[in-house]
Structure 1
Amino acid sequence: MPRKANITTQDLTDRALEHFWGNGFHASSMDDLVKSTGATRHAIYGAFGGKKQMFLACFQRYQDLVVSPAFIQVEQADATLEQVAGYFETQISRAEEIGLPGPGCLVANSATEVAPHDGEVLAKVEEHNTRLQQGFLNALQNEKPNASDGELRMLADMLVVFTNGLWSTSRLTKDGDFLRASAKQFLETLKTRISAP
Structure 2
Amino acid sequence: MVRTREFDTEAAVSRAMELFWSRGYEATSMRDLTRHLGLGQGSVYAAFGDKEGLYRAALEHYRSTLAAAALESLKEGADARSAIRTMLVERLRIAVGENGRGCLAVNAACERLPADESTRRTVRDMQDASRDALAEVLRVAMERGDIAAEQDPHTLAAFLVTFLNGLLVSSKITPDARALEPIVEVALAALG
Shorter-chain TM-score range: 0.7 to 0.9
Q: 1:184 deviation in Å?
A: 1.6
Q: Return the alpha-carbon distance in structure 1 between the equivalents of residues 101 and 94 of structure 2.
A: 11
Q: 1:79 deviation in Å?
A: 6.2
Tell me which residue corresponds to 2:125.
Answer: 127
Tell me which residue corresponds to 2:175.
Answer: 174
Q: Return the alpha-carbon distance in structure 1 between the equivalents of residues 79 and 134 of structure 2.
A: 9
Q: Bigger shift: 13-22 or 151-160? A: 151-160
Map 1:23-42 → 2, pairs under 5 A:
23-42=23-42
Q: 1:59 deviation in Å?
A: 1.4
Q: Return the alpha-carbon distance in structure 1 between the equivalents of residues 85 and 41 of structure 2.
A: 43
Map 1:52-131 → 2, pairs under 5 A:
52-76=52-76, 80-95=80-95, 98-100=97-99, 102-131=100-129
Q: Return the alpha-carbon distance in structure 2 between the equivalents of residues 73 and 79 of structure 1.
A: 11
Q: Note if contact 1:22-1:103 (Cα within 8 Å) is conserved in structure 2.
A: yes
Q: 1:83 deviation in Å?
A: 0.8
With normalisation by structure 1, the TM-score equals 0.84
Q: 1:6 deviation in Å?
A: 4.4
Q: Return the alpha-carbon distance in structure 2 between the equivalents of residues 86 and 28 of structure 1.
A: 32
Once superposed, which parts of structure 1, at least 4 consecutive aligned residues long, lie more than 4 Å away? 76-79
Identity %: 26
Structure that is richer in helix per residue: 2
Q: Return the alpha-carbon distance in structure 1 between the equivalents of residues 94 and 126 of structure 2.
A: 19
Tell me which residue corresponds to 1:152.
Answer: 153
- Spell out, residue by residue over 1:112-170, the C-alpha distance to the aligned partner (whole angstroms, 9 max, x if none): 2113111111100110010111011012112212847x722211111110011111111
Q: Note if contact 2:92-2:167 (Cα within 8 Å) is conserved in structure 1.
A: no
Residue type matched to 1:13 in 2?
Answer: V
Residue type matched to 1:141 in 2?
Answer: R
With normalisation by structure 2, the TM-score equals 0.86
User: How many residues were matched structurally?
Assistant: 184
Residue type matched to 1:19 in 2?
Answer: L
Ranges in structure 1 where 5+ consecutive residues have no aligned partner: 193-197
Ranges in structure 2 where 5+ consecutive residues have no aligned partner: none
Q: 1:57 deviation in Å?
A: 0.5
Q: Return the alpha-carbon distance in structure 2 between the equivalents of residues 52 and 75 of structure 1.
A: 33
